[in-house]
Amino acid sequence: MPDRPSAALQRTGPLDTSRLDTGNPGVARCYDAMLGGKDNYAVDRAVVDEIRRLSPTAHLAARDNRQWFIRVVRYLAVVAGIDQFLDCGSGLPTDENTHQVVQRANPEAVVVYIDHDPMVHSHGKALLADNDHTHFALADFTRTEELFAHPVVARNIDLSRPVAVLHAASLHHLHDEQDPWGTVARCLGTVPSGSYVAVSHLHRPEPGEPAAEVAGELEDAALRLLGSGRFRTAAEITALLDGTEIVPPGFVRAADWWPDGPPMHALEPGQNLVLGGLGRKP
C-alpha cells in the first residue's frame, strides 16, 4: 500500500515544481533576504544589495513591516476577538508566523494562508503539516470570487462570522491597472460586517518628508528588477480602506502603529517608506 499523503499535502494539493524559478529574483525571497532569512538565492540578495545602495536604511522598513504585522494580528486576535484569518500574499515562513501569533491567543483560531508562489507553497506545506487549524491555498488573491470558492478557503472560513483579511506588503505589488483598490473593495463586499482588513504598503512621502527623494529611485529599481513594487502616496494608500472604519491611529508609519513601547531613538528616513493601517467593515 502506498504511503498516505501528509495532512498538509491533502489540504493544499501537489506542488508543481516546474513553476519554481530560481534564475530570477522572487518577491517573497527578496523580502526574506531583506529580513535576514535563509530562503533566498544570490539573485534575490543582489536586489536587496541594490536597494540598500540606494537607501541604507530601507531595510528597516521591512523590519518595521514585519513587527507591525505581528502587532496588528495580535490586536485582531486579542482585542477584536477575531478567530479566523485570511493571510493574502503570505510569503515565506519566518519568525512569528500569523498562526503562531493568533493561536497563542486562541488555539482554536483558524488561519488560511494565500499565495501563488510555488516556493511559498512548498515551504508552507512543511510548516503546517501538524496544525489542524492552519491551512494553505495556492491561489491569486486578486480573483476574489475564485479565492472564496477555493476548497481550502470555503471549507475553513465561515462567512457568517467576521474575518480578518491581511494584506501585509502585498497590494503594492499590483499596478494601478490591476486595481488594488477594487481588490480590497470586492473582498469587503464578500466578508460580513465586523470583519477587518489590515494593510501595509510602500509609501511615497511628500516632498520635504524623510526619504521622499529616494522613493522614486527605489520604485524604479523594484519595477526594473522585480516587475512590481509601487510606492503610493498616503492618500492613495488610505483609499484602499474606503468604506471601513479606520482603527486609530489610522494609516501611519508601521513603527508608529500601536508600538509595544515608547521609541528609544528617532526613526531613520527609511522607516518612512512603509505605512500600516487597519479598517473595520461596519
**Torsions phi, psi for 108 (to 5 deg):** -90, -5
- Enumerate residue ranges in the chain where pLDDT < 50: 1-19
Q: Are 175 and 144 in contact (CB under 8 A)?
A: no
The whole-angstrom separation of Cα 169 and Cα 20 is 22
Q: What is the CATH number of domain 7-258+269-280?
A: 3.40.50.150
Domain boundaries, the chain: 7-258+269-280
The whole-angstrom separation of Cα 97 and Cα 38 is 16
pLDDT computed for residue 21 by the predictor: 58
pLDDT computed for residue 102 by the predictor: 94
pLDDT computed for residue 36 by the predictor: 83
The whole-angstrom separation of Cα 12 and Cα 30 is 24
pLDDT computed for residue 129 by the predictor: 64
Residue appearing with cell numbers 470570487? 145
Query: How does pLDDT run across 66-112, given as a tens digit for each residue?
Result: 999 999 999 999 999 999 999 998 876 666 789 889 999 999 999 99
pLDDT computed for residue 127 by the predictor: 66
pLDDT computed for residue 141 by the predictor: 96
Q: Indicate the pTM of the whole model.
A: 0.87
Q: Are 75 and 67 in contact (CB under 8 A)?
A: no
User: Which alpha helices (DSSP H) does the chain contain, by range?
Assistant: 7-12, 27-34, 42-54, 59-78, 98-105, 118-128, 144-149, 151-156, 180-190, 212-225, 234-238
Task: Give CA torsion, residues 237, 181, 216, 116, to 10 deg.
Answer: 110
pLDDT computed for residue 18 by the predictor: 45
The whole-angstrom separation of Cα 122 and Cα 131 is 16
